[in-house]
Amino acid sequence: MKMLIGNNWLDSDKSFKVIDPYVGEVVDNVAISSKEQIKQALDASYNYKCELSGTERACILRDAKEILAKDQGELAELMTRESGLCLKDTLHEVERAISCFESAIIQAEMIDTYDQTKDFIDCNNDSKPKLEVITEPYDLAVAITPFNHPLNMVAHKIAPAVASGISMVLKPSEKTPLTALKLGKILVDCGLPENMLNIVVGIPPKDIVNQLINYPKLDIVSFTGSVRIGKYIARTMAQNGNELKKYLPELGGNATFVVLDDADLKKASKVALGAFENSGQRCTAIRKILLHRAVADEFVEMFLEEVSKIKYGNPLDSSNNMGTVISSEQSTLLHNRVNKAEKDGAKLLFGNNINGALISPTVLDFVHPNMEVAEEESFGPIVSIIRVNNLSEIKNYFKCDNFGLAASVATRSEEVARDLFDSILVGQFSWNGRPGYRTEEAPFGGFKDSGNGEKEGVIMMTRAMRRIKTFYNHNN
């Protein structure tokens, strides 16, 4: 497969292989973008100024959404083959991408007519100069996306960019670039102007990322991925003259699910299955369960019964609930991390079986918060149960947690749920639901090591990609 630059599909003299994690076979060969081609993409996107109205951009997004719906099965299968995610997960991902485009369509349709000024006027005073607040698209955004959501995460960068009118250069993960390139083709076929979206790909990823984020004319970098890489990008931008450019990082989650002694345990045991969705490769997947000792044994019994029902294996088998993680190296890392936790005193209740990139749903009990499996973001289908005595201990745990993306609580008391929410620092919180629940329109992003407080979500991302200017008319 080739890269997308100027609405043309360009080859190069080097390529890399995209490997199916389950069978280990080559899905496709992808052209590696050269330094010259990356510069071409950046220059061309920067120089392109969109002349389409918001309504016209909405039409492109609408046509693309219809193709996503029509080709849902084909897109899901492509995602499954390059990522190892099961068909149930990838079909759901296409549905989410469709919802993302639907929200972006609304933003594009209203963006030219929405009166920004009224939000900044507190009273009418004819003696003052008249204020007009104007927004316009920035010139260039760079987007860097991870492997775990090959379509939806890409859609959450591209669709708001099109809605806002900004040009974008996208670098999808080298592990799962095929779906992103397919989405680029869909948009081009729907009439997206050349250089409004360019897609560069290749290995080693660090070289490409460096060239993108150090481009002096960029305005915005939107990155979703690990804490380590997210901090590296921030440092590198600062060291190379881009320290004042807008940076929108959405980083690791390591989400926690709190189960209190008054919880509906049957419901909570089903909520806890959020640890295994997307093969546990989701920044808001449940990694840790803070479980009240008074109900611990009863909950564990119910939870293990639910976990035992999970079918995992061949990702293309539509009856399976879970496929692989991204690689055999990742499954081995997770397997070893669980083994280390056992040696340090944790108890393995279920799983930790691996076969290549396939790893079973895994449950650890009697985990200490300082164990590597809990302290680090163990990106896979592993959940660590940490037994606690009271709400005060739970709040203290959150204060020591380096992550701040998502959490949830199981309790019958809304007052207790809101008290916990007010006491901790996370970007999103659910009461009797999974930490990962979100709508495409809602603000999304974390604090601490999970982000810098900037928010994604279609509405916030569309707004973030437009600069704000003010015009004062002194002639009244």
Rounded CA-CA distance 33/41 in Å is 10
Candidates 50, 86, 100, 283; catalytic one = 283
What is the Cα–Cα distance from 161 to 96, expressed in whole angstroms?
Answer: 17
Beta carbons of 75 and 94 less than 8 angstroms apart: yes
- Cα 64 to the center of its chain, rounded Å: 21
Neighbouring CB atoms inside 10 A of 450's CB total 29
Residue 354 parent element (H or E)? strand 354-355
What is the helix (H) or strand (E) element at residue 218, kind and residue range? none
86 given a catalytic annotation? no
Strands 406-410 and 255-259, sheet pairing:
parallel
- Output 49-56 pairs: Cβ under 8 A, ≥24 positions apart: 49/139, 50/137, 50/165, 50/166, 50/167, 50/193, 50/196, 52/165, 52/193, 53/112, 54/108, 54/109, 54/110, 54/111, 54/112, 54/113, 54/163, 54/165, 55/108, 55/109, 55/112
The C-alpha atoms of residue 180 and residue 159 are separated, in whole angstroms, by 12
For 207, phi then psi, to 5°, come to: -65, -40
| Catalytic-residue membership of 123 | no
Distance CA 59, CA 251 (A): 32
What amino acid positions are annotated as catalytic residues? 250, 283
